[in-house]
Amino acid sequence: MRQPLVAGNWKMNGSSDSIRKLVDGILSGLETKAEVLVFPPSVYVQQVRDLLKGSAVKFGVQNASDKLSGAYTGEISPLMAKDLGCEYVLIGHSERRSLYGETDADVAAKFCALVDQGLVPVLCVGETLSEREAGDTMKVVAHQINTVLRAAGPERLANYVIAYEPVWAIGTGLTATPEQAQEVHAEIRALLAENDPSMADRTRVLYGGSMKADNAAELMSQPDVDGGLIGGASLVAADFKVICHAAGQ
């Protein structure tokens, strides 16, 4: 059985004070069988680590370099993330791809670097609205995933997470129906099974397209939806906890 995972991506939001209040709110009365994870802005990771001490909630960084050290101003090394106590690193988010030009090959290199340091990549994949309307959803998603699988090789694929985030459903007010989400999640799992059936069974596939408190339970009731990558709703403690509780049912 795959343990559900709910991951909150706080993006470029927050201050020391607001993050303290948010973490306090999340921890207050949080009861779920799901694994819970938050991705704060990197400058607040140490604060979040300290606030989460003694709880079951885990934390990670929103991005990392494929380089371990060197003259790469502004980058975060996998070694730095590991040193701070992170277990997970978010890579390939649609905003990194669209705003900062990250390619599938870039994401694959990051995946390999993270796994080599014992970190768990949360690999984001997904299609734009024009790609969906052209019927190219799985063509795009398969290329994103296969680029990583080829670069990583079997020895690096023991522990990672995939987050399917239809780009057209992020911050637009649109959301994939549970049936649409399930269809793509099932196809992702079938794609993984072509490489290794056991990998397909154990790899968690999260839905990341505007999951909110009022649609989380229905989305996560689908057999191949193993949790959610939550954006805006993760900044509201009460809403995030509703999603976490729904995942753990």
With a cut of 90, say whether residue 164 has pLDDT above it: yes
The pLDDT of residue 82 is 98
pLDDT in tens, 91-141: 999 999 999 999 999 999 999 999 999 999 999 999 998 999 999 999 999
pLDDT in tens, 48-74: 999 999 999 999 999 999 999 999 999
The pLDDT of residue 12 is 98
The pLDDT of residue 143 is 98
Q: Can you say whether the dihedral through the CA atoms of 125, 236, 57, 102 is positive or negative?
A: positive
Which tokens hold the place of 135? 């019927």
The active-site residue, picked from 35, 95, 127, 165, is 165
Average confidence score pLDDT of the chain: 96
pLDDT in tens, 210-235: 899 999 999 999 999 999 999 999 99
Q: For 43-46, which contacts have Cβ atoms below 8 Å and span 24 or more sequence positions?
A: 44/14, 44/16, 44/19, 45/81, 45/84, 45/86, 46/84
The pLDDT of residue 171 is 73
Judge whether 93 counts as a catalytic residue: yes
pLDDT in tens, 17-43: 999 999 999 999 999 999 999 999 999
pTM for the predicted model, two decimal places: 0.96
Contacts of 194 (CB under 8 A, 6+ apart): none
The active-site residue, picked from 93, 102, 127, 185, is 93
Judge whether 245 counts as a catalytic residue: no
The pLDDT of residue 159 is 95
The pLDDT of residue 65 is 98
209 in Cβ contact with 176 (< 8 Å):
yes
205 in Cβ contact with 162 (< 8 Å):
yes
Stretch (H or E) spanning 198: helix 197-202
C-alpha distances in Å from residue 163, one per residue of 125, 189, 214, 215:
6, 12, 20, 17
